[in-house]
């Protein structure tokens, strides 16, 4: 018997990353843009998705993958009644979606007929940041009532973003939320991050986001 050192140097997430890359390739081959939408519980993820669908449904076909920790289909039902295909994934108590769950979700969606897939991740600001799902970009829905200190407390999720939505801006007069302080934290973690302040309730700011997203979907179809 002898002890031997075997060099490995492999990322512990390598299996997940491999599956994520397969998902991304599958989506890209079918010219479907995919967004990983993350947020804390109650930030307005489902409302934001519904408002986005409402404004884009005449132009694009949108599918939704709903990640939830419990076997409830409340969110998926809302999307389906808005007329778009949705699939619910129950993580069985797990705090995040991973690439293999995302692959199962994609298999249940009619990708050939879609232009955009929005993945609603489990409401959580910590765990979803560590798992690549195989989407094309990461989006966070932050919201004013959560407080302006969230970028400082959850730096990892802010660092990996391509898009930041600040929801519920209509509540700013009623809660302690210093926009400058919030944005200062974001700027440190992710300089120049594309940010859209919106209110799903009043519709404020949604036009700018929709214009940006429409262009992104169209450009993606033309490039790939």
Partner 1 sequence: MHELSVTESLLNLALSHANQANATKVIAINIVIGRLSSIVDDSVQFYWDFVTEDSICAGAKLNFDRRPAVLHCADCASDYTIDHDLTPCPKCGGMRTTIISGEEFFLDSIEIEKEAEKIS
Size of the site for partner 1 (CB under 8 A): 35
| Out of 82, 187, 214, 218, the residue judged to bind partner 1 by CB under 8 A | 187
| Out of 127, 171, 193, 194, the residue judged to bind partner 1 by CB under 8 A | 127
Q: For residue 142, give the nearest of 174, 173, 102, 185 by alpha carbon.
A: 185
Residue with tokens 């969606």: 109
Output 184 or 215, the one with its CB closest to partner 1: 184
Show the 3-state SS of 136-187. Answer: CEEEEEEEHHHCCCHHHHCHHHHHCCCEEEEECHHHHHHCCCCHHHHHHHHH
Q: 96 and 121 in contact (C-beta within 8 Å)?
A: yes
Site mask for partner 1 (CB under 8 A), range 156-185, x = bound: x--x------------------------xx
- Give the nearest distance from C-beta 196 to partner 1 in angstroms: 21
Interface stretch with partner 1, choices 27-35, 71-79, 132-140, 153-161 (CB under 8 A): 153-161
Q: For residue 38, give the nearest of 104, 129, 162, 116 by alpha carbon.
A: 129
- The DSSP bridge partners found for residue 139 are 37, 163
Residue with tokens 């289909």: 73
Site mask for partner 1 (CB under 8 A), range 45-84, x = bound: ----------------------------------------
11 binds partner 1 (CB under 8 A): yes
Interface stretch with partner 1, choices 18-26, 88-96, 162-170, 171-179 (CB under 8 A): 88-96
Rounded Cα distance, 134 and 148, in Å: 30
- The DSSP bridge partners found for residue 163 are 139, 194
- Give the nearest distance from C-beta 191 to partner 1 in angstroms: 6
| Out of 5, 92, 110, 176, the residue judged to bind partner 1 by CB under 8 A | 5
145 binds partner 1 (CB under 8 A): no
223 binds partner 1 (CB under 8 A): no
**Cα separations (Å) of 174 from 145, 147, 171, 177?**
9, 12, 5, 9
96 binds partner 1 (CB under 8 A): yes
Compute and round to an integer the Cα radius of gyration of the chain.
18
**Contact set with partner 1 (CB under 8 A):** 1-16, 94-96, 98, 126-127, 129-131, 152, 155-156, 159, 184-185, 187-189, 191
């Amino acid at each position: 018997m002898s002890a031997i050192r075997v060099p490995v140097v492999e990322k512990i997430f390598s299996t997940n990353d491999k599956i994520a890359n397969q998902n991304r390739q599958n989506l890209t081959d079918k010219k479907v843009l995919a967004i990983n939408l993350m947020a804390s519980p109650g930030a307005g993820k489902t409302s934001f998705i519904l408002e986005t669908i409402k404004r884009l449904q005449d132009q694009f076909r949108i599918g939704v993958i709903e990640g939830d920790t419990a076997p409830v289909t409340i969110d998926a039902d809302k999307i389906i009644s808005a007329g778009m295909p949705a699939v619910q994934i129950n993580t069985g108590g797990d705090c995040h979606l991973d690439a293999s769950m995302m692959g199962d979700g994609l298999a249940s969606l009619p990708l050939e007929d879609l232009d955009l897939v929005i993945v609603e991740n489990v409401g959580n600001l910590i765990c979803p940041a560590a798992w690549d799902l195989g989407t094309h970009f990461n989006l966070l829905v932050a919201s004013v009532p959560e407080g302006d200190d969230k970028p400082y407390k959850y730096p990892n999720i802010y660092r990996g973003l391509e898009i930041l939505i600040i929801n519920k801006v209509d509540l700013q007069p009623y809660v302690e939320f210093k926009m400058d302080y919030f944005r200062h934290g974001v700027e440190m973690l992710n300089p120049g991050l594309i940010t859209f302040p919106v209110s799903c309730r009043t519709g404020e700011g949604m036009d700018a986001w929709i214009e940006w997203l429409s262009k992104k979907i169209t450009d993606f179809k033309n490039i790939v």
